Homo-oligomer: A and B are copies of this chain.
Amino acid sequence: MPEQPLQIKTPRSRAEDRERVNSAKVLDAALTLFAQRGYHGTSLQDVAKLLRIRTPSLYNHMDSKQAVLAAIIVETTEAVWSDYVDAVDGIDGADQNTKKLRAAVAAYAFRHARHPREAIIVNRDVSALEEPHHAAVMSMRRKHEAAIRQIIIDGSDAGEFEVENPLLTSFGLLEMCVSIARWYRADRGLTAEEVSAEYAELALRLVGARQKNRRSRA
């Protein structure tokens, strides 16, 4: 085997080159960088550098920088709503608001643990999203917030919860879940399921729910 002292980089064939990057990898790189530095704080040069290609090559895998942002935010927001609908679906009967709130918060928390980059971008860069996507996303977010708030109100009316101010409580409760995206890492002991369950219990504490399954205080 001859030495190749002058050859710094291993050359790649055209075929290998063509396969090194795809749209999923561009999305992944954008997720990492947008989450770290924000949409406006990330240049396409940064994304290209992370993928070890030149900026124009990105356009083989995306339409525009804005389209990548839109895909991240719109899909995540739709998934949050879909998670919510699935979580509360079919819950009825006694203590239904307690069960609904636990399920809805657990689902919301779970998504933030499993998809922290997407969650950070949705919360930080939604203002960078152009119309009509921006209006659609804001509307969907408000729908989710209103649904959570309605559970709190219904539970209050039904005597399941004891809440001073549903608006204030609902905002605090939702933002509490967002915090997960800022510190949770899958490789540090707790599973996403454990974190979600714990935040769901914290939510029930916030609304003053009767804590049937908890040991009573001294």
* Chain A residues packing against B (C-beta within 8 Å): 36-41, 124-125, 127-128, 159, 162, 164-165, 167-169, 171-180, 182-183, 190, 195, 198-199, 201-202, 205-206, 208, 210, 217-218
Q: Given A165-B198, A176-B172, A210-B217, are A127 and B205 also a contact pair (CB < 8 Å)?
A: no
Tell me if B176 and A218 are in contact (CB < 8 A): no
**CA distance in complex: A173, B173 (Å):** 9
The 5 closest A-B pairs by CB, nearest first: A175-B179, A40-B40, A172-B176, A40-B41, A176-B176
Verify A198–B168 contact, CB threshold 8 A: yes
Which residue of chain B has its CB nearest to the CB of A218? B159
The interface centre, meaning the residue of A162, A172, A198 with most chain B CB atoms within 10 A of its CB, is A172
Chain B residues with Cβ below 8 Å from A38 are: 38, 40-41, 124-125, 127-128
Q: Hey, which chain B residues are within 8 Å of A180, CB to CB? A: 171
